[in-house]
Amino acid sequence: MAGRGLNRRGWLIGSAAATLAGCAGPKSLVPSAREPAAKEGVDPHASPVYDVIVIGGGAAGIGAARTAQSYRRSVLVLEAQERFGGRALTDNATFSEVGFDLGAQFFGHCVSGNVLFGIAQAKGVAVVDFSTLPTYFFLGANKAPDPQVASFVATLGGMTGDILSGGALIANASQDYPVSRITKKYLKDRWYENAIGIAVTTYSGAQPAQSSTQDLFDYIVGSPLPFTTPGDSYVLKSGMGNFIQALGNGLPVKFGAVVKRIVRDATGVTVVTTRGTYRAKTAVVTVSTGVLGAGAIEFVPGLPATTRDAIAALPLGLIYKCALGFNTDLFPQFKGAFTVVTQLSKQPAISYFANFWNYNIVEILADADIAVKIESMSRTGQIDYLLKRLEENVPGAAAAFDGRFTASNWGKNPYTHGSYSRATVGNADARETLRAPVGRKIWFAGEALAETSTITLLQGAYNSGIAAASGALQSIGVKLRGRGIAG
pLDDT at 7: 41
**Position 41 in a domain:** yes
**Position 146 in a domain:** no
> Using one digit for the tens of pLDDT, what is the confidence trace for 177-206?
999 999 999 999 888 888 888 888 888 888
- Which range is most confident: 8-17, 219-228, 285-294, 330-339? 285-294
Mean pLDDT of the chain: 85
- Which range is most confident: 101-115, 260-274, 360-374, 445-459? 260-274
Predicted TM-score (pTM) of this structure:
0.88
Query: Burial, 17: exposed, middle or buried (Cβ in 10 Å; 0-12, 13-18, 19+)?
Result: middle
Q: What residue type is assigned to position 103 of the chain? A: G
Weakest mean pLDDT among 16-25, 62-71, 292-301, 397-406? 16-25
**Position 247 in a domain:** yes
| CB 26 within 8 Å of CB 257 | no
**Position 150 in a domain:** no
Long-range contacts of 229-232 (CB under 8 A, 24+ apart): 229/111, 229/131, 230/129, 230/131, 230/132, 231/110, 231/111, 231/129, 231/131, 232/108, 232/109, 232/110, 232/111, 232/131
**Position 337 in a domain:** yes
Structural domain including 346 reads: 1-141+226-487
Mean pLDDT of all residues in 209-237: 80
* DSSP H or E stretch at residue 261: strand 259-264
**What's the 3-state SS for 158-189?**
HHHHHHHHHHHCCCCHHHCCECHHHHHHHCCC
**Position 203 in a domain:** no
More confident residue, 79 or 29: 79
**CATH value at residue 270:** 3.50.50.60
Weakest mean pLDDT among 32-41, 200-209, 344-353, 472-481? 32-41
**Position 418 in a domain:** yes
Confidence of residue 220 (pLDDT cuts 50, 70, 90): confident
> Using one digit for the tens of pLDDT, what is the confidence trace for 75-109?
999 999 999 999 999 999 999 999 999 999 999 88
3-state SS, residue 320: strand
- How many domains would you assign to the chain? 1
